[in-house]
Amino acid sequence: MGAAGDGCRVVFLGPPGSGKGTQAVLLAQDLGVPAISTGDMLREAVANGSELGRRVRRIMEAGELVGDELMAEVVEERLASADTSMGFLLDGYPRTAAQAETLERILERASGTLDHVVFIDVPEEELVRRARLRQRIDDREAVVRERLRVYREKTQPLVDHYRTRGLLREIDGFREVATVRSAILKALEADC
Ligand code: B4P
């Protein structure tokens, strides 16, 4: 992992279905740093039937959050990979105050700091509509409502946490994918 000032370390924050994953993948092409989605990593583990997958499957299907300690192991290992030397776009992590602390610790150990937190906001009814179209296993309406409840309780407080630190870049995600992509690129332009 690179030292402060020589890369582009970005966190994507936002409610479930706000387009964090969609935008992280697009921006990775624009910026040449990897998009790292904890949701995708967990879904892959479930699909492979690995030990990790067996531990998280039911939690994910219920729309709950996987435990902070387990997620810390997953993220620390991934961020130690050589491909993060110039930065990363972290989608879906942190999701709790404890995870935000863990990320800070991981970055500190590598003499790095977070450069931006992109907060993609979308109205709740649009999130439910998108989930209905996507039909992933955790996109059934009752599960989506639960994921939104968990988001409001555990993750939303991170918006203020990062705003206070001057890292928050607020993006209106209720627009065309390409428009949202340009808005994020513009917000990151100065450093990435
Ligand atoms: P995630 O994989 O992070 O799921 P998400 O929040 O729904 O994804 P995202 O916001 O990226 O939406 P997307 O771009 O796909 O997490 C799934 C689960 O994994 C969690 O519930 C939890 O159980 C577990 N988990 C993951 N990270 C964890 C952590 N750190 N701690 C604990 N547990 C964790 O977009 C959604 C849909 O909208 C797509 O179909 C897309 O095509 C569409 N879309 C995107 N942008 C659009 C736009 N501008 N207009 C119209 N549609 C758009």
pLDDT-derived band of residue 2, with 50, 70 and 90 as boundaries?
very low
- Please tell me the distance between residue 21's alpha carbon and the centre of ligand 1 in angstroms: 6
Query: Does residue 15 line the site of ligand 1, with CB under 6 A?
Result: no
Pocket test for ligand 1, best of 13, 37, 65, 156 (most atoms within 8 A of CB): 65
Mean pLDDT of 101-112: 93
Which one-letter DSSP state was computed for residue 24?
A: H
In which order are the strands placed within the sheet that holds 116-121?
35-37, 87-91, 8-13, 116-121, 168-172
Dig out the tokens for 7 from the structure. Answer: 């890369």
| pTM assigned to the model | 0.93
Is the CB of 71 inside a 6 Å radius of any atom of ligand 1? yes
Instruction: Give the separation between CA 18 and CA 2, rounded to whole angstroms.
Output: 29
Tell which residue, 80, 79, 95, 97, has the closest CA to residue 35.
Answer: 79
| 142: its two tokens | 């009752």
- Tell me the CA–centroid distance for residue 17 and ligand 1, in Å: 4
Residue type, 16: P
Closest-CA residue to 36 (of 85, 90, 72): 90
pLDDT, residue 41, reads 98
pLDDT value at residue 4: 41
Tell me the backbone φ, ψ of residue 169, rounded to 5 degrees.
Answer: -120, 105
User: Is the distance from the beta carbon of residue 53 to the nearest atom of ligand 1 less than 6 Å?
Assistant: no
Tokens of 112: 């790095």
- Residues 70 and 32: their CA atoms lie apart, in Å, by 28
